[in-house]
Amino acid sequence: MPSRHLVDPQILPMVEQAPAVVLDAEHLAESRAAMVAMAETLPQPAPLAADLKMYEERIPGLDGAPDVRLIITAPKASGSGRPGILHIHGGGYIMGSADMTAQIDAAYAGEFGAVCVSVDYRLAPETPHPGPVNDCYAALKWLHENAQALGVDPDTIAVTGESAGGGLAAALVLLARDRAEVPVAFQHLIYPMLDDRTATRDDPSPYLGQFIWTQDNNHFGWRSLIGGEPGGADVSPYAAPARAEDLSGLPPTFIACGALDLFLEEDLEYARRLILAGVSTELHIYPGGPHAFNLVPDADITMALDRDSMGALKRALTKS
């Protein structure tokens, strides 16, 4: 284990206890069930605060696609001009659900008075690209079109996501820019999965991607999403945002990643390109952090990520 000595000591127990799972089509259902079971072993969120509400909506999918399930977390009190946050869950494009974001959505709603909409997008490989990003776009349009009823300022909508959810968030923001139908005020990307070409590298660093999300799993995730081998010449930037040739005109951006995450280099490069394209960009790298290190809530680097993340959202969403 060449990178074990680099893992933050407070994160190391999680890394050592996490099962070594190799994802493939034959065992995907078992892997999805194992992800749910692992989530149940983690510290459970506190009950929803008395001044917040959580409910579900089902909205029409884009262009005749199946309905999309949304989970909305918002203040109970009526109001207007609230920020809206569209939240896209992680899971390598192949696992997870909107229910995963409940705890952080409650934090966003409580801290910023925001209306948070979590998207239960269809998963690959059953639904490859463009199905997942189209589901997210349908949710973004719904949030914008229903802003007044929700008490949301339609010009203060952020898109956020973790891992594959961060990749979908970045893809969605590109799509929103190019379609020019819905303004996005901020993109908030937590260790985002941005570049299918990472899965094809034959010289990955021995210090990256050794834990939690590995090169083999990354290859399967990307192959499932794009419906073929990653690394080809015709991969859409709405599937792999790092493929976008032009990043100008995107909203201010926050990117965070652990220093041992397989996505480190693609996230660094995306941040560099955003900056060179004139996009206000905040980048944080956390030493000793493998992928999903913030599953250890009381680790110092998790608390640092929480501070940086919430601070960036506050600056983006709070009107002076």
As annotated, the active-site residues are 163, 261, 291
DSSP H helical segments within the chain, as ranges?
12-17, 28-41, 102-112, 131-145, 147-150, 164-179, 215-226, 264-276, 300-317
Q: Distances from the Cα of 91 to the Cαs of 23, 39, 64, 234, in angstroms?
A: 12, 12, 25, 24
Q: CA-CA distance, 262 to 218, in Å (whole number)? A: 9
| Percent of the chain that is helix, strand, coil (3-state, to 5) | 40, 20, 40
DSSP H helical segments within 146-260, as ranges?
147-150, 164-179, 215-226
Tell me how long the chain is.
Answer: 320
